[in-house]
Chain A
């Protein structure tokens, strides 16, 4: 990368006009340029395209468009007043009053119409913009450049190098990665974490490259960075989640103002397809774990069956429609904080209840389905998130049931008698160890920290969903929430 970002303007004080031959308005204002050139101030004419436009002027030819980029010119013509190397005032297009203000000269352009819109600056042409952004980016990209052959399809090249999750990826060109890095104020070389299973240093730049491949927009990058950081903690244990023969992958719940700002979907089909932010943020985390962490199916990843959510499983909570405090508030953050919560899970399992009209009955339905998670005879093992839909949430709201109340009722319903869940009981070999299940002992299906409620979904449908967990507790994976920083 070059150092043009610190390039100074060719002049520091006086008037400067940016024009181009391929612009009718620029031709229109040529007499005005002549009036300004006749004055005794410093006046510089910069041409974006032709070195001899306008004829008869001493023109500074901005062949590489570096001057226009530095001035952030969006329109030609634009008149600037510069003071000490900075733009003190400017007027885009032709507007007599504006040009008179900038130039400090009354009576400009007699005989011209009062105003005429300008043309787009050449710096705004898509391929030119990308090139200039790369040239002037303050970011120092240090990842290895993989040069492709002229006949090589970049999407196929990404497959061939083992970078994808099985779906096509957006080719991570330098231009796209530079634009992705605009989504954060953090330096590309900053180490986000040391990522298992390979214990590789994961930089902001590596996250950005994988976010490009996943299809993220730059404004999603802070969420992905937060998720990667949370994934690398011993508490979340992405190594174990990657390596297990179980179904599990990282499930992400996003809370706070960033959900709306980046257009995530917490409504109809919140757990399904169709929303770019939901899908690509979840995918980006999994690509980082694959490419930087080194977890690949058949390698470290030994899942017997896996689950489709290992491609992407990410959704925001519908906080506004919820009868309860949000997941992130429950986990100690303020409502105005943006957070991402990681949960080792898979699913969902459906909960149908179209008949309950009181919370006692609906809680029993929840409990019946929640007993299935893992196995009906195993207790104290897997955690779970219940995604409560609006039509089910309404029943708890109308009855004034808090989350704490609902959790307490379900825990009471899911205290399982040892005789029922012991290995071998009921003719089923699976179950709790018979020696500990003896003597009237009871088992809590979920630990005190093992059951969570999140509100999301469309307005119609008396269905909620269980996201089944892996093994909870400090020995395995615990729900982990990280603040999202810019």
Chain B
């Protein structure tokens, strides 16, 4: 019988539940994350207007570069300060 050696990292995929969806945004703060892509500011400015019309408070965050994962500190800060996050992902 032929046996092959597993070329993968052999990590088992961790199944994670999505965080519970918020019923509304009334009480919380929404993080607006700019990942430093061109025109991300345009998208975020418009979202900020739309949230303001609905009385939702927002906070602004920025990744140092779109080409690398967000630093751990930034992720923790957003999690501590906000209840939801909108990421301006693409140009």
Q: List residues of chain A with CB under 8 Å of any chain B CB.
A: 141, 143-148, 150, 152, 154, 157-158, 163, 171-174, 177, 195, 198, 200-202, 206, 209-210, 213, 234, 237, 239-240, 244, 287, 291-294, 470-471, 475-477
A475 in contact with B64 (CB, 8 Å): yes
B49 CB to closest chain A CB (Å) equals 22
B14 CB to closest chain A CB (Å) equals 11
A240 contacts across to B, CB distance below 8 A:
67-68
User: With A148-B1, A198-B11 as given contacts, are A143 and B67 in contact (CB-CB < 8 Å)?
Assistant: no
In the A-B complex, the 3 residue pairs with the smallest Cβ-Cβ separation, listed nearest first, are: A200-B9, A475-B65, A240-B67
B3 in contact with A173 (CB, 8 Å): yes
A475 contacts across to B, CB distance below 8 A:
64-65, 67-68
B64 contacts across to A, CB distance below 8 A:
475
A54 CB to closest chain B CB (Å) equals 38
**Size bracket of the B interface:** 10 to 19
Q: How far is the CA of A152 from the CA of B4 in the complex (A)?
A: 12
A209 in contact with B5 (CB, 8 Å): yes
B23 contacts across to A, CB distance below 8 A:
none
Q: List residues of chain B with CB under 8 Å of any chain A CB.
A: 1-11, 64-65, 67-69
Nearest-neighbor residue (CB-CB) of A293 within chain B: B9
Nearest-neighbor residue (CB-CB) of B69 within chain A: A239
B39 CB to closest chain A CB (Å) equals 11
B68 in contact with A144 (CB, 8 Å): no
B51 CB to closest chain A CB (Å) equals 27
Q: How far is the CA of A239 from the CA of B69 in the complex (A)?
A: 8
A104 CB to closest chain B CB (Å) equals 48
Select which of A174, A200, A237 is within 8 A of B11 by beta carbon: A200
User: With A200-B11, A291-B9, A294-B9 as given contacts, are A147 and B3 in contact (CB-CB < 8 Å)?
Assistant: yes
Q: How far is the CA of A206 from the CA of B1 in the complex (A)?
A: 22
A476 in contact with B65 (CB, 8 Å): yes
Q: How far is the CA of A240 from the CA of B67 in the complex (A)?
A: 5
Q: How far is the CA of A292 from the CA of B11 in the complex (A)?
A: 9
B3 contacts across to A, CB distance below 8 A:
145-148, 173-174
A476 contacts across to B, CB distance below 8 A:
65, 67-68
B67 contacts across to A, CB distance below 8 A:
237, 240, 244, 470-471, 475-477
B7 in contact with A292 (CB, 8 Å): yes
Q: How far is the CA of A148 from the CA of B5 in the complex (A)?
A: 11
Select which of B1, B7, B9, B68 is within 8 A of A239 by beta carbon: B68
Given A171-B2, A201-B9, list of 19 further CB < 8 A pairs?
A141-B5, A143-B5, A146-B5, A146-B6, A148-B3, A148-B4, A152-B2, A154-B2, A154-B4, A158-B4, A174-B3, A195-B9, A202-B9, A291-B9, A293-B9, A294-B9, A470-B67, A475-B65, A476-B68
B2 contacts across to A, CB distance below 8 A:
147-148, 152, 154, 171, 173
